Chain A
C-alpha cells in the first residue's frame, strides 16, 4: 500500500472536483485524490478503503452533506473531516461541528483564501493519527474510567466505535455494569476496553440498573490492561508487516488492487446464488447490483447450456454513462465497471489486468 495520504472529495459540482484534484495533488504530502459527486458512493468508498481525510460539501442534492457527516462520523470515528460550503452561515457551521467535523470552511474564493485552505488541509494531513477517544485525544478509555472512579462520579459512558455502540455504567465511582451489542457484564466491559479508537459521550447515571459487575475497579482495570496487551499482541501477529514479508500485494484486498487500474470505476465480486456480494468497491447498492449480475449471468448460461454454445466467457455492456464487464468462473462472479471516458476497444485489455488480480 502507498504511504501517501488519501483524500476523498465529495461535491456535486464536477468542475470543482477536477479543480480540487489538480490543486490538491500538488500539496507537499502528495496525497492521492479520489472524487465523487454522490454521497452514498462516498460512504461506499470509505467502507472499501482507508482514507486520511474527507472533504465534503454541505449542500448537495439527493443526500446532503449533513446526512453524509452523520453516517461517516458514526462509522469512521477516526476519519478527519473538512466540511465546505459556498455559503456558510453560523447555524450550519455549528451543526457541522456538532456532527464532529474537524474543520469547517467557506469555499475559498480569492487566491489568498485558496492558499490558506490548502495550508489547512496539509496541516490536517500532517496531524498524526491519534489513538484515544475524540474529545479527549490521547486518553484511553481506561484513563477516562479511572478518572470517573477516582472522582467517585455516577455516570454512564457511551462509547461508539466503528458503528458499534456500548455503555459503561458507573455508580458512585464503581463500575456496576457494561453493555456492548448483546453482551453485558464483565464480557462486555472487556470488549469495550479493548477498543482503540472511537467517540464517547457522558449520559446521566442510571441508578436503577441491575448490578452485573462485582469486581473492584482496580481489579477490572488490571484485567483490562491485560486484555489490551493481549489484543495488541494478536493484532501484531495477525497483520504481517509488509516490510518483513516483502509481499505488499498480499496485504491489499483484490477489489482495492483492481480499483487502482486506470479507468476502473467500480468492482464487485461474488458468487452465483449468493444473496450478497463477497466484496465490492465504489458501488452504491452492492446487494442490488449483485442480484442483477447473478440473474443476468444465469439467464445467459441457461441459454448457452440449452443450445450447446459452450461456456459463457464474458458479457460486455456499454452505455454512455457506464461500461460494465461481467465475468464468471464456475460459480464465481466478477463485475468491473469502467469510466464512461474509457474506449470500448481498450476495455478487453483492461479487463485482463482486472482478471489477473481476481484469479
Chain B
C-alpha cells in the first residue's frame, strides 16, 4: 500500500511552480491574470469550465456556494464566485 502511494505521488507533475490568480466572467472569459504565460491554455480552460460547472450544478441542486476549495495532492484551487464568474487562485503543493 505504502509503495503504491509513493509510486502514485511520483507521477505528480507541477504545472505551476508559483501561486497565481485569475478572474473570469460568467462566460468563462479571462478578465485578468497573474499566471505566467508558460501555463498551458488547456489547463486554465478546464479549470474555468469545472469551477463554473461546480457552482452552477450545485445551484441547480439547491446548494448555493460562494467559495469552493479543491485539494489535490499537488495542487490547491480556491475559487470565489463573482456574479456568475469567479476569482480563481491556484497554489502548487509539494507532495
Contact = CB atoms under 8 A, between A and B. Distances in A.
Interface of A: 285, 288-289, 291-292, 295-296, 299-300, 303-304, 306-322, 324
B70 A312 contact: yes
A312 B93 CA distance: 12
A200 B83 CA distance: 56
Given A289-B61, A316-B69, A317-B58, A307 B53 contact: no
B50 A310 contact: no
Contacts of B54: 296, 299-300, 315, 317
A345 to B, nearest CB: 12
Given A309-B75, A315-B71, A318-B65, 9 more contacts: A303-B50, A304-B75, A309-B13, A310-B95, A313-B73, A314-B71, A316-B67, A316-B69, A322-B65
Interface string B52-70: 0110011011111111111
A319 B13 contact: no
A11 B11 CA distance: 54
Q: What 10 A-B pairs are tightest by C-beta distance, nearest first?
A: A310-B73, A309-B72, A308-B13, A316-B69, A310-B74, A319-B65, A310-B12, A292-B61, A309-B75, A317-B65
Interface in B25-72: 43, 46-47, 50, 53-54, 57-58, 60-72
Contacts of A314: 69, 71
B72 A321 contact: no
B15 interface: yes
A303 B73 contact: no
Most A CB atoms within 10 A — which of B12, B57, B65, B72? B72
Contacts of B64: 319-322
Contact of A304 (B63, B68, B72): B72
A315 B73 contact: no
Nearest to B57: A292
A314 B72 CA distance: 7
Contacts of B11: 308, 310
Given A296-B57, A310-B12, A317-B58, A303 B47 contact: yes
Contacts of A320: 64, 66
Contacts of B65: 317-319, 322, 324
Nearest to B68: A317
Contact of A310 (B53, B58, B67, B75): B75
Contact of B9 (A299, A310, A312): A310
B74 A318 contact: no
7 contacts: A288-B61, A292-B57, A303-B47, A307-B13, A307-B43, A310-B12, A310-B72
B19 to A, nearest CB: 15
Contacts of A299: 50, 53-54
A306 B66 CA distance: 26
Given A303-B47, A306-B46, A309-B12, A292 B58 contact: yes
Contacts of A292: 57-58, 60-61, 63
Contacts of A288: 61
Nearest to A344: B67
Interface string B2-16: 000000110111010
Nearest to A321: B64
Contacts of A316: 67-69, 71
Contacts of A303: 46-47, 50
B84 to A, nearest CB: 15
Contacts of B75: 304, 307, 309-310
Instruction: Pick from A295, A299, A306, A317 the residue with the most CB of B within 10 Å.
Output: A317
Most chain A beta carbons < 10 A, residue from B8, B58, B95: B58
A344 B46 CA distance: 27
B95 to A, nearest CB: 6
Contacts of B13: 307-309
Contacts of B57: 292, 295-296
A348 B69 CA distance: 12
Contacts of B72: 304, 309-313
A313 B71 contact: yes
A309 B53 CA distance: 19
